[in-house]
Amino acid sequence: MGREKVDTLLLVFACLLVVANHLGSNASWISASAIGLMIWRAWLTLNGRQLPARWLLLAIASLLMGAIYWQFRSFVGRETGVAMLTLLLACKMLEMHAKRDLFVVVFLGLFLLLTSFLDSQSLGSAFQVLVSAFSLLLAQLSFQFSEKAPSLWVRCRLILKMLLLAAPLTVLCFYLFPRIQGPLWSLPSDANIARSGLSDSMTPGNLSKLAMSEELVFRVKFLEETPAKSAMYWRAIILSQFDGRSWTQIAQAVPQGAIKLEVKGKPLAQEITLEPSNNQYLFGLDSVSKTPELESMASHLNALGEIRSELPISKRLRYQVFSQTSYRLNADFDAQQIQINLRLPPGFNPETMKFAQQLRQTFPDPASRINAVLRYFREEKFYYTLEPPPLGRQSVDEFLFSSRAGFCEHYSGAFVVLMRAMGIPARVVTGYQGGLRNTQDGYYEIKQSDAHAWAEVWVEQAGWLRVDPTAAVAPDRILRNLDATQKNTGIAGIVNKFIVQNSWTNDLRMRWSAVNNAWNQWVLNYNQSKQESLWQSLGLSSINWERTLLTVFVLGLIVLAIFAIPLLSHRTKLTIYDKLYLTFCKKMQRRGYQPAIHEAPASYALRLHEHLTTAQVTDVNKFVALYLQIKYGKPTTNLNEKIQQLKGLLKKIK
């Protein structure tokens, strides 16, 4: 196979790696179209076929652009732009006729790699981008050799050397180049794509679907004391409005003013690293006593104990929060709040209403009524499952007296309905419960599978109290995790036993998670405040932009000099006879007979014959013949004598 074919196939392979970075974000037909076009290019190369005609390429490109507009209804936007770049890269591969087309493909591929960081900046994604960029550079380098190319390993080593030369300056610029708050340019309107997570409403089934996801929500590091896992309730959303099926937020349910929290004991300090969610929910251990301070935006702690950021969280966020596990929340009587949290829609769940009245007559005080409902859940045949049966219009009736199988939203919702029907103010709280401690770095990892719903009831003089009816049915869910409540059989059971519960794989998974966390903390979360702290430690606290840029520039030159100066000593030194031949070429050049770059000495001398006299031709032939004998002939002992002869012949040539 010829060199040109090999180099082209290497470029096709590199571009396929680039497209692979967007397989999870691009629509399936976009990735399939790009891969199909590149495979077509590889087939044409292998079979020595001509590239498609320009009219055919225009037709294909127009069809693909029309399909993009049909799907996105616009040519503007982040997703649209990435999709267009992906398809244009594939089309350009079918239009490579000159070396400049190669540079267009390589630069387009590198830019497309950059856009992959808009979707994921994890350590795995960074490694995948690095491999793809390395392949592109290797393909570009392979095309630069006009003669026989060195082996693949030699070319790889050359690329590695280039990257290593660039690495010190890259690290220096990363840590010292001034950082500013906010983006350098405005992203399109679809840049903040919705992500899965908690919703401001709760319907039977939505939390159980969310709990099947292992997506990371946030990491927590307890700075001092670590509470018991059963006390780890991460409060997020208060739901007070019930329409017979769904629970939603209601603006009137948020009292005016600050939170009324009476605390006991020492607060628990936590450092939370929150993943991007594009919503405004902040988390802290229930109950947060002070509004956390954010670096890039303001936050607010309302009277219900909910924490909200000023803007949607579109990037990873780290903050400290202080919580109290022993507290009284809003213990003062508030008629409006009591009324809001006693409302029930008329015409729904008659059996539940009847059951609540029986309990109300049997048990006189709120505490005994609460315990009666929890005992009912505990002693009757209720089941905790991720796949509960669907419920109809009378959802609470069907759950309590028919299916008796549900997830946390079923138990918390039914519990609150029973409380309100018995005259006890109650509401639903959604958030997360528990978390998995990483034994490698000590951080707790809270994932979507930890999503949970519980209840709060208002008791006179005690305020709002947390009651978790799920704990009465499935205590392992609270004491351990969700997996402890699920019985896996068949293949799922085998996989769970030998892979998920295997100590070696768990240790490997935690190590990888700890590495990712370190990447997040020290690279992705390196912001302006951290840079200012670094400057202070280096004695550069009063630095300004001009001095900083000058310092970076000078340090960059010093680093380049450190690596470049040793390389200069390894430059190929011209021999005396090569210098004499170059002097001969310059003499001829002054007369208008410049040698071509690819022209050998013998061919050059032959071309000069038609411009020189017979005597000059003889002298030129003797000079070139002696030069070739010295340079390519066998080693001789009278080299100096021949060099003197070469000098004499050069002087004769006028």
With contact defined as beta carbons under 8 Å apart, do 237 and 247 qualify? no
For residue range 527-583, list pLDDT tens digits in order: 677 777 777 777 766 656 567 677 777 888 888 888 777 766 666 678 888 889 899
Burial class (CB in 10 A: 0-12, 13-18, 19+), 185: exposed
Q: Which band of pLDDT confidence, cut at 50, 70 and 90, is reported for residue 640? A: confident
Q: How far apart are CA 414 and CA 564, in angstroms?
A: 73
408 is an active site residue: yes
pLDDT at 190 over 60: no
With contact defined as beta carbons under 8 Å apart, do 274 and 282 qualify? yes
Instruction: Dig out the tokens for 211 from the structure.
Output: 């709990």
**pLDDT confidence of residue 324:** 87
Q: Which one has a higher pLDDT value, 625 or 516?
A: 625
Q: In what order do the strands lie in the sheet with 233-239?
A: 233-239, 426-433, 451-459, 463-467, 327-329, 261-263
Q: Which of 360-369, 518-527, 587-596, 611-620 has the lowest mean pLDDT?
A: 518-527
pLDDT (mean) for 265-288? 89
What angle do helix axes 152-176 and 528-537 make, rounded to 10 degrees?
80
pLDDT (mean) for 434-438? 88
Q: Which band of pLDDT confidence, cut at 50, 70 and 90, is reported for residue 192? A: very low
Active-site annotation holder among 7, 15, 91, 408: 408
Q: Which band of pLDDT confidence, cut at 50, 70 and 90, is reported for residue 184? A: very low
Q: What average pLDDT does the structure give for the chain? A: 84
Q: Which band of pLDDT confidence, cut at 50, 70 and 90, is reported for residue 189? A: very low
Please give the model's pTM, rounded to 2 decimal places: 0.64
Q: Please name every residue paired with 201 in a beta bridge, in sequence order, or none if there are none.
A: 248
**pLDDT confidence of residue 546:** 64
**pLDDT confidence of residue 369:** 94
611 is an active site residue: no
452 is an active site residue: yes
Active-site annotation holder among 15, 22, 91, 452: 452
pLDDT (mean) for 471-498? 61
Q: Which one has a higher pLDDT value, 388 or 370?
A: 370
For residue range 212-262, list pLDDT tens digits in order: 788 889 999 999 889 988 889 999 999 999 988 889 988 766 766 777 888
With contact defined as beta carbons under 8 Å apart, do 198 and 237 qualify? yes
Give the start-end residues of each E strand in 41-87: none
Q: In what order do the strands lie in the sheet with 247-248?
A: 201-202, 247-248, 241-242
pLDDT at 492 over 50: no
For residue range 149-183, list pLDDT tens digits in order: 788 888 899 999 998 988 888 888 777 776 655 54
pLDDT at 391 over 70: yes
What angle do helix axes 639-652 and 614-632 make, rounded to 10 degrees?
160
Q: Which one has a higher pLDDT value, 488 or 270?
A: 270
With contact defined as beta carbons under 8 Å apart, do 193 and 79 qualify? yes
pLDDT at 464 over 70: yes
**pLDDT confidence of residue 191:** 47
